[in-house]
Amino acid sequence: MRWKFKLRHIVTAAVNAAAIAGAAVLTLAGSITARSQGYNFAAERWKHSGDMDYSQLSCFLSNDAGFNINEMNSIRSSFRSNLQEASITEEKGKLLFPDAYSTPVGKASVSCDIGGSADAQITAVGGEFFFFRNFRLLDGAYFTEDDIMQDGAVIDERLAWALYGSPNISGQAIYINGVKFYISGVVKTPSTDPEERCIGSAPLAYISYYAAGSVSGDSPGAMYGYGEDFSGMGFEESFDRITCYECVLPEPVENFGYDMMKKQFSEPYKDKFTIVKNSERSDPKVRVKALKQLGDLVVRDDTIIYPFWENASRIVDLKLSYIYGGRRILLAIPLITLIWLAVKGYIWLRRRKTAIKKAAGKAVSAKWKSLRSRLPQKKK
């Protein structure tokens, strides 16, 4: 039997093939675009084989929210208690959940022992900050809040070249507004297009939250036992705030971590915080749904100053919303075609119902006769 294809059949098949190919391309583009912001995948990096699900959450607060290290430690304790109530306990030698905190200190003059200098954006950090950022380390190592001395600094490669003419300078001294630090590590400057648009022209330096406070004289470093080694030269008259808190929390049930965080921040910091579900932000369903609220991505009516990584992620969120929205439109074409074919097939069957029954009856009868003819005949 020869099939006769009409022009509309060929066109329909071509359109559907193109739609499926286009959807596949957009799926790949969406995955690459989302993965370009590696700091949104900390939960994947933390999750161990066979463990329960984890969610990554970020809470951003305004400068006047009053959130500080005491409040953060209280929230940490509350999270641990809630997790213990859910029968999730800390294993020996392993964190129950990683978290980090940070706040911008501002622009400062940075110099070195051989005469190089530059103005840099300084960020005070603590906890597992560098685990969350997923920077590419070019030289040295990251400092931690467990270090005996809190005078380490991690700088980006732009600042390294401006000061020493090389990125391989871990252990060298730098002076931030005249206060001495040692270069713990050098990281590659984030270089995706969204990051470059948000990061600014000034190079970046990251220092311990305690060291940054000690510089001001009103010192969290002194309050928590780190002494006054950095006193006398200030970034600000008072340095006692945290504007970004992030964590990776176990998820024994859906939204367990988000509900815990929202409960902790809702009352004391009403209208002065926002929570981001980093683990879900690249989900196609979430991004397509966000197309209905594009204003929330483009226009902000809060007083929160977001760090460059969050602003870059918001740019990517907008791109992903269009990418996955376009993919959904393309996938609608083969879906509509399948529905149309199903309807046509149903109509065809209805019209030929009697003929099909007759043909089926004849086929069954012929088969039965054939089988009977093969059976051994009884002797008379």
What's the domain range around 256?
36-319
Q: Is residue 272 in a domain?
A: yes
Are 196 and 343 part of one and the same domain? Answer: no
> Which helix (H) or strand (E) is 275 found in, with range?
strand 273-277
Q: What is the pLDDT of residue 303?
A: 78
Are 276 and 351 part of one and the same domain? Answer: no
Under 8 Å between Cβ of 43 and 54? yes
Are 200 and 113 part of one and the same domain? Answer: yes
What would the pLDDT profile of 228-254 be if each residue is shown by its tens digit? 343 333 334 446 889 999 999 998 888
Cα dist. 199→193, 232, 313 in Å?
Answer: 10, 30, 12
What would the pLDDT profile of 192-225 be if each residue is shown by its tens digit? 999 999 998 999 999 999 888 665 444 444 333 3
Q: What is the pLDDT of residue 173?
A: 95
Does 326 or 344 have the greater pLDDT score?
326
Position 171 pLDDT exceeds 80: yes
Q: Is residue 261 in a domain?
A: yes
Out of 48-57, 139-148, 304-313, pick the least confident. 48-57
Give the chain's domain count: 2
Q: What is the pLDDT of residue 197?
A: 92
Q: What is the pLDDT of residue 234?
A: 37
Number of residues that this document lists for the chain: 380
Are 348 and 262 part of one and the same domain? Answer: no
Handedness of CA 152, 158, 164, 167 (dihedral sign): positive
Q: Is residue 54 in a domain?
A: yes
Out of 179-188, 228-237, 345-354, pick the least confident. 228-237
Q: What is the pLDDT of residue 259?
A: 93
Are 16 and 90 part of one and the same domain? Answer: no
- Average pLDDT of the segment spanning 303-326: 92
Are 227 and 350 part of one and the same domain? Answer: no
Are 28 and 112 part of one and the same domain? Answer: no
Q: What is the pLDDT of residue 295?
A: 61
State phi, psi for 371 to the nearest 5 degrees: -65, -40
Position 324 pLDDT exceeds 90: yes
Average pLDDT, the chain: 84
Q: What is the pLDDT of residue 360?
A: 72
Q: Is residue 370 in a domain?
A: no
pTM exceeds cut of 0.95: no
- Average pLDDT of the segment spanning 57-78: 92
Are 211 and 185 part of one and the same domain? Answer: yes
* CA–CA separation, 91 and 265 (whole Å): 27
Q: Is residue 365 in a domain?
A: no
Q: What is the pLDDT of residue 319?
A: 93
Which of 6, 5, 18 is closest to 334 using CA atoms?
18
Under 8 Å between Cβ of 125 and 243? no
Q: What is the pLDDT of residue 237?
A: 41
- Average pLDDT of the segment spanning 123-141: 94
Are 219 and 242 part of one and the same domain? Answer: yes
Q: Is residue 368 in a domain?
A: no
Q: Is residue 228 in a domain?
A: yes
Q: Is residue 178 in a domain?
A: yes
- Average pLDDT of the segment spanning 288-303: 70
Question: pLDDT band at residue 357, thresholds of 50, 70 and 90?
Answer: confident
Under 8 Å between Cβ of 209 and 145? yes
Ramachandran category for residue 177: left, alpha or beta (phi over 0 → left; psi -120 to 50 → alpha):
left
Are 19 and 140 part of one and the same domain? Answer: no
Q: What is the pLDDT of residue 4?
A: 61
Position 115 pLDDT exceeds 60: yes
Q: What is the pLDDT of residue 2?
A: 55
Are 335 and 314 part of one and the same domain? Answer: no
Are 28 and 51 part of one and the same domain? Answer: no
Out of 75-79, 90-94, 103-107, 198-202, pick the least confident. 90-94
Question: pLDDT band at residue 86, thresholds of 50, 70 and 90?
Answer: confident
Q: What is the pLDDT of residue 20?
A: 94
